[in-house]
Amino acid sequence: EIVSLRQQVQLLRNENAKLKAQLEDEAKLAEDVQQRPIEGLDGFTAAELAARLQRALEKYREERGKSQELGHRLEAAAREAARGRGLERSLDELERAHLEQNQELQRLQEENRKMDTYRQTTKTQEKVIAKLEQILERSLGEVQKAQRVQ
């Protein structure tokens, strides 16, 4: 899922760059059209000028619609990129937490292994103590028996 999100973020960044370049090109074209004087209008009739103006308005509206659509796509791409960055930060935090938990788990497992060793040592010591107690009781019994015999 993370790899998929990273790929999606990269695709959105590429599309974002393309859309920005396209908007810049359109802005330059609009600026060029505004600065350049219109030549040859003297030879047209009012009807021809009106028809040309109508076509120009239609093209303008069409381009304006495209520009708005590109703007919306650019905004969506920016939102998606921001979401991707947020997810990437979340992933980094989760990875750090996972590493910390893994280290704690390893520490506890090592401690548990030591506890098993301690338990085994305690059992062995208890057996030795029990045998020593038996030996002491026998020795005490023999000493008491020897004292009674005297």
pLDDT, tens digit (0-9, with 9 covering 90-100), for 73-115: 888 888 888 888 898 899 999 999 999 999 999 999 999 999 9
pLDDT at 42: 67
CB 60 within 8 A of CB 108: no
pLDDT, tens digit (0-9, with 9 covering 90-100), for 50-73: 888 898 889 888 988 988 998 898
> How many Cβ atoms are within 10 Å of 22's Cβ, its own excluded?
14
pLDDT, tens digit (0-9, with 9 covering 90-100), for 2-12: 788 888 888 88
Angle, CA 67 vertex, CA 63 and CA 73 arms, to 5°: 145
pLDDT at 78: 86
Q: Rounded to an integer, what distance in angstroms lies between the CA atom of residue 93 and that of residue 100?
A: 11
Domain locations in the chain?
Answer: 2-121
Angle, CA 86 vertex, CA 15 and CA 22 arms, to 5°: 15
In Å, what is the CA distance from 3 to each residue of 12, 15, 88, 98?
A: 14, 18, 10, 18
